[in-house]
């Protein structure tokens, strides 16, 4: 086959170009899970992540003019060139459809295949699931911030809010945290979090995994102060298990202020979210010291520099 005459040759060429550009970075950092294509071209609205020999592909729903059969042919052509480039089979490719405004996407179950396997990141081991949920269990764009958390956690008490599968918690524990408390509303993800701790051979008896509505939990009386807090809420959540819906734009001031109640006076809160149009409220400036750190928390494999925004927040001295 002459790949340059293939209908999806442009996708093939761009992904191959990205591979070459990232090669030295991936080797230097020993990264085996990364984004290889980040919707680089509008005619291919895909985000393609490589997970140690497997591809996780998110197709973003756009207003294309293709009929259903044309779309299927287009997608098949895309997958064909990716199979050729990565020398993999259909069994190693997982395709999901994303909708920009859909709430609770990371919790949305799309299958029950249970295609589970483990990957490594900076020597830590994580379980990922490429088949059953919109997201995989490991957000690749937070790789630099996870590394930072590990570096500053030695001898500290760490709180991870909206913990998901607790990758931040694993980094904190492996970085030498005295205790790590992970809070999430989903039993599924808390069990997954515990499994991630076990995979990295972390003694879980020193750490806590709490099933709770974070919005409610952070409003309770303060029983312990934490040196480091990670606050990474979803953009929207309408879970029936929550007393009220969550909207990160509308609720972030309340979330941050209540989280800060649990922070040691000399501690740090890392606040992040992936709402593209997010605006941090000026109401926080008087009570806190804010520093946006987005620029160094997005890794080179992500072309989209708006994949998330992140701040380092400290209490202002009284």
Q: How does residue 107 score in pLDDT terms, banded at 50, 70 and 90?
A: low
User: Would you identify the CATH topology of the domain 3-99?
Assistant: Transcription Regulator spoIIAA (3.30.750)
Contacts of 317 (CB under 8 A, 6+ apart): 265
Instruction: Reply yes or no on whether the pLDDT at 268 is more than 90.
Output: yes
Q: Which of 10-14, 111-115, 261-265 has the lowest mean pLDDT?
A: 111-115
- The domain locations on the chain are 3-99, 141-315
End-to-end, the C-alpha distance of the chain in Å comes to 70
Question: Could you tell me which residues are beta bridge partners of residue 313?
Answer: 269, 290
Instruction: Reply yes or no on whether the pLDDT at 220 is more than 60.
Output: yes
Q: How does residue 63 score in pLDDT terms, banded at 50, 70 and 90?
A: low
- Closest by Cα among 273, 274, 259, 234 to 313: 259
- Closest by Cα among 249, 272, 261, 254 to 315: 261
CATH number for 141-315 (one of 3.30.1320.10, 3.40.50.460, 3.40.50.150, 3.30.70.520): it is 3.40.50.150
Instruction: Reply yes or no on whether the pLDDT at 60 is more than 70.
Output: yes
Instruction: Reply yes or no on whether the pLDDT at 224 is more than 70.
Output: yes
Instruction: Reply yes or no on whether the pLDDT at 310 is more than 70.
Output: yes
Instruction: Reply yes or no on whether the pLDDT at 98 is more than 90.
Output: no
Pairing of strands 236-237, 246-247: antiparallel
Q: How does residue 108 score in pLDDT terms, banded at 50, 70 and 90?
A: low
What pLDDT was estimated at residue 316?
A: 93
Instruction: Reply yes or no on whether the pLDDT at 164 is more than 90.
Output: yes
Query: Would you say the CATH fold of 141-315 matches that of 3-99?
Result: no
Question: Within a 10 A sphere around the Cβ of 89, how many other Cβ atoms?
Answer: 8
């Amino acid at each position: 086959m002459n790949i340059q005459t293939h209908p999806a040759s442009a996708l093939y060429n761009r992904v191959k170009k990205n591979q070459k550009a990232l090669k030295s970075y991936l080797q230097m950092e020993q990264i085996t899970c990364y984004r290889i294509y980040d919707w680089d071209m509008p005619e291919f609205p895909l985000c393609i992540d490589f997970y140690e020999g497997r591809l996780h592909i998110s197709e973003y729903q756009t207003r294309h003019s293709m009929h259903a059969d044309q779309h299927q042919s287009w997608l098949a052509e895309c997958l064909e060139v990716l199979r050729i480039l990565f020398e993999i089979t259909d069994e190693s490719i997982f395709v999901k459809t994303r909708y920009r405004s859909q709430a609770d996407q990371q919790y949305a179950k799309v299958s029950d295949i249970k295609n589970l396997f483990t990957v490594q990141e900076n020597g830590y081991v994580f379980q990922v699931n490429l088949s059953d949920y919109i997201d995989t269990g490991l957000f690749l764009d937070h790789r630099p911030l996870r590394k930072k958390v590990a570096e500053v956690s030695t001898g500290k008490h760490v709180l991870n809010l909206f913990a998901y599968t607790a990758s931040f918690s694993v980094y904190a524990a492996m970085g030498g945290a005295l205790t790590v408390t992970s809070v999430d509303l989903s039993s599924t993800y808390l069990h997954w979090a515990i499994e991630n701790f076990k995979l990295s051979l972390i003694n879980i008896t020193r750490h806590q995994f709490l099933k709770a509505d974070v919005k409610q939990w952070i409003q309770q009386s303060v029983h312990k102060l934490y040196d480091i807090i990670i606050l990474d809420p979803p953009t929207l959540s309408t879970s029936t298990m929550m007393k009220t819906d969550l909207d990160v734009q509308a609720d972030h001031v309340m979330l941050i202020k209540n989280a800060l109640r649990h922070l040691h006076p000399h501690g740090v809160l890392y606040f992040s979210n992936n709402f593209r149009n997010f605006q941090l409220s000026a109401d926080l400036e008087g009570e806190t010291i804010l520093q946006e750190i987005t620029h160094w928390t997005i890794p080179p494999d992500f072309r989209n520099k708006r994949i998330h925004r992140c701040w380092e927040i400290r209490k202002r001295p009284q």
